[in-house]
């Protein structure tokens, strides 16, 4: 059973008050890949698939908004990588002047998240929505990684930080990351909302992540100071 949910310092009302002015989309801030440009990479990852069932490992927004059919979900652990806000977001939830952050898996440690099994369907049709969502911005590299679950290990498609991308920010302090998240908003909404929904999902699932929990408190404090000015 998931552990009891703790009270978050960060909340949607605070985020909305701090970012009340809508932000227009700026396609020039991040040129995204077309489906035609994405297909060769998808074919490569399909060719390296290990196992019969099709699994995707979620550790960020895919946990609370998978946008693909789900036949089964399991809490699971990936070893060798940890969840971290290390990818700059200059579009969608940020701007070039005030970039936000999104999560990626970076080297070292471990990460608890959710392994989703997709229903039996044509593999390209099943994977293209998540492939498009995660890979069009050139911020990730994809790998099949073993995920340990209570019902046994599975091989899951997992999206890791692309350290060669200009979006990769390296290992900043939580205070530096919180400063950017608190200030950033794009046409898809504030960067702080992405953080809030991810922490909320982890708490609901009983996943403890000190990095996320510390960030939400730091971001909440910065947003309150903005609202009170």
Domains of the chain are: 12-228 (3.10.490.10)
| Per-residue pLDDT, 7 | 79
Tell me: pLDDT of 55 over 60: yes
Question: Does the reported pTM lie above 0.95?
Answer: no
CA end-to-end span of the chain: 42
| Per-residue pLDDT, 170 | 92
Tokens of 207: 């996943």
| Per-residue pLDDT, 5 | 60
Q: What is the largest CA-CA distance in the chain?
A: 56
- What is the rounded CA–CA span in Å between residue 95 and residue 223? 18
- What is the rounded CA–CA span in Å between residue 45 and residue 56? 12
Residues 21-47 have a mean pLDDT of 95
Which amino acids are annotated catalytic? 134
Tokens of 171: 């290992």
pLDDT digits (tens, 9 = 90+) for 171-222: 899 999 999 999 999 999 999 999 999 999 999 999 999 999 999 999 999 9
């Amino acid at each position: 059973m998931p552990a009891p949910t703790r009270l978050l310092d960060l909340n949607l009302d605070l985020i909305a008050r701090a970012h009340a002015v809508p932000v227009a989309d700026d396609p020039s801030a991040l040129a995204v890949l077309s489906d035609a440009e994405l297909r060769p990479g998808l074919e490569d990852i399909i060719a390296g698939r290990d196992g019969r069932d099709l699994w995707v490992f979620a550790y960020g927004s895919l946990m609370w908004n998978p946008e693909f059919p789900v036949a089964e979900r399991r809490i699971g652990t990936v070893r060798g990588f940890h969840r971290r806000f290390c990818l700059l977001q200059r579009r969608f939830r940020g701007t070039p002047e005030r970039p936000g952050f999104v999560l990626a898996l970076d080297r070292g440690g471990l990460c608890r998240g959710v392994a989703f099994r997709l229903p039996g369907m044509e593999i390209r049709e099943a994977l293209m929505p998540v492939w498009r969502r995660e890979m069009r911005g050139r911020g990730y590299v994809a790998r099949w990684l073993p995920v340990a679950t209570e019902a046994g290990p599975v091989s899951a498609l997992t999206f890791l930080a692309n350290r060669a991308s200009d979006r990769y920010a390296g290992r900043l302090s939580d205070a530096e990351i919180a400063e950017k998240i608190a200030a950033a908003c794009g046409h898809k909404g504030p960067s702080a909302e992405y953080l809030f929904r991810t922490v909320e999902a982890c708490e609901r699932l009983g996943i403890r992540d000190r990095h996320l929990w510390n960030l939400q408190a730091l971001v909440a404090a910065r947003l309150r100071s903005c609202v009170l000015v």
